[in-house]
Structure 1
Amino acid sequence: MNRIIISTFLIINIIYGINPPQNGNFPDGFWEKMRQQDIGQKYGDPGWVKKISNYINDPSRDTQLEFFVPVLLGKYADVSTTYFNASDYDQLLFGENPTGSMKDYYNEISYGNFLVDGTSGGWYESTLTMAQAVSNAKEYVAGIAALADDDFDYAEYDNDGPDNEPNSGDDDGYVDGILVVYSGCGAEWGSGNDNLWPHMSSLDAYEYETNDIGFNGSNIIVSSYAVNPELAGGGDCYTDIIRPMGVYAHEFGHILGLPDLYDRDDSDGNSAGLGEWCLMASGSWMGWAGDRPAHMSAWCKIEMGWIEPAVVANHETNIEIPQVETNPFALKIWEDDFHFSRYFLLENRQPVGFDDDLHGPGILMYHVNENRRYGPDYFSGGSCNDDESDKLVDIEEADGNDDLDEEVNRGDDGDPFPGSTANVTFNDSSYPAASRNDGTETGISVTNISDTDSIMTADILMRPKYGYGIAYDELGISSYGFGNSDESDKWGGVLFTAEDGGYLTEVDFGVRYSDSYWTAYIYDSFNGSSPGTLMDSTTGHSENDDWVTVSVDSVPIGEGQDFFVAVKYHNETYPVCFDKTGIQSNRSYYSTDGGVTYADYISDYGDANIRAKVSSDALVGIEPVAAVPSDIMLFPNYPNPF
């Protein structure tokens, strides 16, 4: 029986929601210890990831989303003294904190579109010692959740349904997330500390079924969690200083589904990723040890639905870019021919609000490759920023020193434009360059960048659209795979219909396993069970689980033509990844007989992660060297699948 699905990724490169160290790199053996506990395999609360996705795709959205979180103080069995109480954490996270609370922070960076609030309780004394909790964090968290059950109605913390009311019948029956405060200080603050490292994950086998009954009559379940330390300090805890809230804001960002935007892979060198320019990198440490965390990057704010970027659709002179701290504004300039997965993102950062400790003001230019993550349904999955040569989100450092990539620092006043080097030009000939990561020139330029101010200006030459992408799996790779448990060759395929005539020049598809071998096939037609004439094929190897982009030898495609793209996964179990939550197109097929005949089994569950890109001269609206017109066309960022 071939219609079998598996519900988890069996991969080596597991994703972790972990606060970066205060300084330097992660200690030797750190990532292996995390893998042994399966920390982070489920990243982001599933209900809230879906809620945010629906929020982003609603053009008429005008509702402030509300997230209510219980904060549970959990003391180890071998710790006799704690130094702060529940009311202290209510003030730190949700109250009148002198340097700003987590509630204040998220209200500011979301422009009032997101409210986080909650209640703290405890201390609750675990049956585990500190060493035992470090060895099994999930058991520790589940135990604290159980001890707090009599004090909390967990049903009031399940608010991931569309009506924005907790436990109203449209929620998923799971607490959206809990924050656990563990006694002592965090292991990520210097050396000499054997305590827990702050992280976000899910309880999996340790899921706790509460005593509280949800709207549908079932017991509410606790799964998504984050752990954070009680005290400031590392090797020596500062018993008179509560841990600043930056680490809480970072881990809470993971509960919402955001990935770490620093390098988590030691195998190919390290980079600081976005460094202290983004909460989801090391911006959680800004101010004094994180009491004034930096804003999220524009990319993160777009993912949360707090910014809808203005897409540059023509050349422009003297375009205004207001400061992002008080204006939900960012510019998006497509970099790839299909305006599909790669782009530059510009934001104006100024020392305002929680950004008041920035290294320097100016235009930050991000280079984004969406194929370094799985997609909106599981957008923390994939290599993200682990490969310093091809990141999900990269900063083009204006001074050209590559200090972030080389981990010389986590940000400086030379990173934004014009910056300390007075760089006012970004194009194919500059360094950093506006070229693609493989060195191909794009024709994009951002020039005449103004002096830093609350409103900055620049001239922009964009890259015209030379084709289009077809993606029926609009939410990308999920944590599910289709197939069976036999280690054998299996085929997944998608039937495409061309919108305009042109040439099929690229195919994207997902792979679930590192060290995978595959073959991609292009057919000119499909009759519902058998493909037509083979037009092209390519065999290759992928080192990582991720999206794969394959160049196709310009297969001609007519307007309205059906064509079929299939991928053979060599000797793998459950290899065909698919979008399980998007709108089903009923265009996905599966084969185990050598790709001779296909059945639409996958369509019962979702859309296979196979995408086509068609080059078409008919879509070129302007010449890349055309004269700069007097106005610009700005369009919303959807319905592009990202």
Structure 2
Amino acid sequence: MRLCLATLWILACLPILAPAADDSTRPRPVAADPELLARLGSTATARAAGPGLPEAELYRESRDARKSGLAVATTGAGACLVVLVGWSDHPADATAHPNAAYQQMMFSVGTHPTGSLNDYYLENSHGLYQVQGLVSGWHTASAPYASFDPASYVEVRSMIAAVLTQLDPVIDYSLYDNDGPDGVPHSYDDDGLVDALFFVHAGPGREQTGDSRDIWSHSWAFSTPLATADGVALKRYTVEPEELADGSQITVGVFAHEYGHVLGLPDLYDTDYSSSGVGEWCLMGSGSWGRRPGDPAGSSPSHLNAWCKAQLGWVAPVAVVADLPGVTVPPAETDPAAYRIFRGGVATGDEYFLVENRQPLGFDAALTRRQVDAGLLRAAGLVIYHIDETATGNSDEKRRLVDVVEASPWIRAPGDWFEHLDGPRDVALQLQLDEHNRGDNGDAWPGWSAVSADTTDWSGPRDRDRFADDTIPPATDNVCDPTGIALENIAPSGQDVTLDFVLGAKRAPRVAADKSLAWNFESGTDGWLFCRSYVHHDAGLAGSCSGDGGLWFGTVDPEFECNPGYGNDWFDFTWTTVGVSAGAAITLRHRYDIEPDYDFAYVEGRCAGDPAAPWVEIAALTGASSCVTDTWEIPSSLIGACDNAYGFAVLDLRLRLDTDGGWSAEDGNFCGIGWWVDEVILDGEFATSAEETPGAGLVARLLPASPNPFNPATVLKYCVPNGAREVGLAVFDQRGRQVRDLEAQTAAGWHERVWDGSDDAGRMVPSGVYFARFAADGSAFVEKLALLK
């Protein structure tokens, strides 16, 4: 009789997996330990982890499985097969790391000091899913450790195949094929593949040591399923180490991350380490290395984020299809609560914003490593993710699958800012908030505007309590078009977070009294917007034009020089919204160095406020030029198409550099910039006095109520912009029901209304929290009211 428990460690934690597509060409390494990044740097770490984009194919597999109805079942209890292996010339420390310790770390409930793998998935699934298994002793491979190269994923895979074949006489692999609905292993409804195979090797992992003699933890698959004598085959597997770099027993973090792959989740860290992806805000990012104060690395991995939980069916995000004032979001660690919002209240589609409330509870008590290790305030608050499911991972900084929208970006100068997760991290400098990191307490909303004198911590009030198209970062889509959504009045309330979801906000145009607008960029960008591109503002560089300050398009180093034929792949742009009248013209003082007839700099315009409106070419430039001044008239057809009732057109103006990724520089003298824009002048810009057009230059606004809290009445001041057709001001209760229509005036200009605490029937409402909502042609603003009695 063949035994399931022999001289090896076997863990039963079988998820119900759909057949995987052939993923034999792309191993998926776990994210590097932060301390390894500190020693090696991002480039050397990426080289040590190995080539490829490991998240792309896995995401396609899991996405296609969901669409075909073959998605992983993630409720109930499962089991997996884990093999613990040492070598005669590289043995495990079985005395220091007995099987009983692993049994508790993997499968106990509420007894492991820092939490088990079973505890982790029970907490993340809100009790829907648990991991079970058994542990036996260590097994010694027949071939020596020296017989393969631990730094080669291909040779490691061949070694694993040989070990599993060696164990075939003592393991009944059919017990671990149980992905059918009847719950009986290796029955008629199972797929004939071992569902989850974990291979645990003696020694530490290269993701911590950086030593080429160690194996980097990863998940992969055999190119052809490995047949066994039990009527089932082995396909996918994951690899984990016995111990940490200091010789202590491995913690649960790497297991939790690799088990996420077993469940079909992709990597959400940046696999080339040029940025941090989602950082430590998710297990599938760098969250596998979380720890509470005094505990070892990886002992408290971060929660899966709301996107991952939604893929597994553990969270059903609420789609915001209409304004939702006064929403209370409980902690994600204790409640399956998340919200989804995008342009026009659309509830489907590949791109959207996803919102959850993260608090330092349970396994999330370790948010984030930077905060924990430095003894700083733990990260807590509303986390906003920008989701784009047309992307396959987080290695493209301009289009990520899951991106954290940070509440507290670092602002160098007006128009020049960055988010901390969006660049290569220097661990030695990560305590400085003017450097990149893997996550800090300023990522969650509401954020901070002020920073401590030594730049190690945020300070002052959490005043960044609004996310919209005109905030930094903006609520634009991945091609930088406004979405019109806004999250207003974001505020902590104990462990909850309250906010207002608003649909239909619009950006107002610039209007100048002298019928002309000019930007020399010497002190700031003054209304020009930047989104997910390499357009930068530099106030001190002249770009060979007279005067200081300008915009440059290209690499992040404006002094970089290259040989003719230098290649790149730029798609960089910036834009602003203006009102123009017939005959308007735009003038640029600029210089450029781009490949003739292949790469182009464009000046473009379109009707503002409509993301579906096409961009119209005003000018196209190619080749090379010293600093010159060019003027182009804005096409009358464009102005006519965007004309409004007052005889002027509201346009988005865009400057864009587009290169094909091949040959680029014409003469090699200026390709570090590609295109330098020193000054922009707009002539024929619409302007008029308030007497000519009521409310010209005004934008829709609702000021905070005064007094507030109040009893018996409060005053609401609001501004109606010129040309507004639909205007409304009303009071709502906490359930979103209208209490009182305050009958807003529709004439352009500032107005005020008094609310005396009564409803539309004249009855006095009870004390409590209410919301005033002002709307003008789709723009909407909400203010919280507190009625005291």
TM-score normalised over the length of structure 1: 0.63
Distance 1:33 1:361, change over 3 A: closer
Which residue of 2 is the match for residue 352 of structure 1? 361
Alignment partners' CA distance in 2, 1:17 and 1:452: 39
Q: 1:209 to 1:455 in 2, by over 3 A?
A: same
1:132 corresponds to which letter in structure 2?
Answer: D
Judging changes above 3 Å, is the alpha-carbon distance between structure 1 residues 104 and 624 closer, same or farther for their aligned structure 2 residues? farther
Unaligned ranges ≥5, structure 2? 1-20, 368-377, 411-418, 426-435, 450-461, 506-568, 570-597, 600-611, 616-724, 738-789
The amino acid that maps onto 1:447 is E
Q: Which residue of 2 aligns with 1:275?
A: 279
Report 1:566-605 matches (<5 A): none
In structure 2, how many angstroms separate the alpha carbons of the residues matched to 1:197 and 1:46? 23
User: Who is 2:18 aligned against?
Assistant: none
**CA distance 1:132–1:124, shift in 2 (3 Å):** farther
| Correspondence for 1:94 | 107
Per-residue CA deviations over 1:498-547 (Å, capped at 9, x if unaligned) read: xxxxxxxxxxxxxxxxx9xxxxxxxxxxxxxxxxxxxxxxxx99xxxxxx
The answer for the alignment partner of 1:455 in structure 2 is: 496
Counterpart residue number, 2:534: none
Q: SS of the residue aligned with 2:355?
A: strand
Deviation at 1:265, TM superposition (A): 3.2
What corresponds to 1:254 in structure 2? 261
Q: 1:226 aligns with which of 238, 245, 252?
A: 238
String of CA shifts for 1:205-249, please: whole Å, max 9, x gaps. Answer: 4x432222xxxxxx111111110110111xxxx33x101110110
Structure 1 residues 33 and 249 mapped into 2: Cα distance closer, same or farther (>3 Å)? closer
Going from structure 1 to structure 2, the CA distance change for 1:249 and 1:33 (only over 3 Å counts) comes to closer
Q: TM-score, normalised by structure 2?
A: 0.52
Change (3 A) 1:230 1:32: closer
Structure 1 partner of 2:229: 211
Matched, 1:78 2:83: no
Alignment of 1:26-41 (within 5 A): 28=44, 30=46, 34-35=50-51
1:404 to 411, 421, 437: 421
Structure-2 change in CA distance of 1:443 and 1:50 (3 Å): closer
2:177 to 140, 152, 158: 158
Structure-2 change in CA distance of 1:553 and 1:457 (3 Å):
closer
Q: In structure 2, do the counterparts of structure 1 residues 39 and 182 end up closer, same or farther at CA, with 3 Å as the change threshold?
A: farther
Task: Describe how 1:458-477 pairs up with structure 2 within 5 A.
Answer: 458-462=499-503
Query: Letter of the aligned partner of 2:232 in structure 1?
Result: I
Alignment partner of 1:302 out of 304, 310, 313: 310
Q: 1:356 to 1:29 in 2, by over 3 A?
A: closer
Q: State the 1:443 CA deviation.
A: 1.3
Q: Give the Cα separation in 2 of the matches to 1:44 and 1:142.
A: 25
For 1:365 and 1:444, locate their aligned partners in 2 and report how far apart those are by CA, in whole Å: 13
Alignment correspondent of 1:586: none
Provide the secondary structure at the position in 2 that maps to 1:271: coil
Identity of aligned residues (%): 33
Identify the residue that residue 414 of structure 1 maps to in structure 2.
442
Residue 78 of structure 1 and its aligned partner are, at CA, apart by 2.0
Q: 1:31 to 1:314 in 2, by over 3 A?
A: same
| Contact 2:54 2:267 survives alignment (8 Å) | no
Q: For 2:85 and 2:226, how far apart are their aligned partners in 1?
A: 16
1:256 CA drift (Å):
1.2
2:307 counterpart SS class? helix
Q: Which residue type is aligned with residue 329 of structure 1? A: A
d(CA) in 1 for partners of 2:177 and 2:93?
30
Q: Secondary structure at the match of 2:201?
A: strand
The equivalent residue for 2:553 is none
> Which residue, out of 481, 485, 500, partners 1:444?
485
Q: Provide structure 1 residue ranges, at least 5 long, that are not aligned to the other structure.
A: 1-6, 213-218, 374-383, 465-514, 516-539, 542-550, 555-622, 634-642
Cα distance in structure 2, aligned partners of 1:181 and 1:273: 27
One-letter identity of the residue aligned with 1:273: G
1:262-310 residue CA offsets vs partner (Å, 9 max, x unmatched) = 11136xxx11011111000010000131101110111100011100111
1:405 Cα shift? 0.6
Query: 1:321·1:455 contact (CA, 8 Å) conserved in 2?
Result: yes
Cα contact 1:72–1:144 (8 A) shared by 2: no
Q: 1:67 corresponds to which residue?
A: 78
405 and 336 in structure 1: CA distance in 2 versus 1, 3 angstrom threshold: farther
* Aligned mates of 1:418, 1:40 — CA distance in 2: 31
Aligned alpha-carbon RMSD (Å): 3.6
Structure 1 pair 172/50, CA: closer, same or farther in 2 (3 Å)? farther
Distance (whole Å) between structure 2 residues aligned to residue 119 and residue 345 of structure 1? 38
CA displacement 1:292-345 (0-9 Å, x = unmatched): 111011110001110011111101211111111010110000248864111111
Contact 2:82 2:199 (8 Å CA) reproduced: yes
Closer, same or farther: CA 341–625 of 1 in aligned 2, 3 Å = farther
Q: In structure 2, how many angstroms separate the alpha carbons of the residues matched to 1:53 and 1:92?
A: 35
Query: How many equivalent pairs are there?
Result: 445
Contact 1:364 1:396 in 2 (8 A): yes
* 1:170 matched to 2:189: yes
Give the secondary structure class of the aligned counterpart of 2:133.
strand
Superposition deviation, residue 460 in structure 1? 1.0
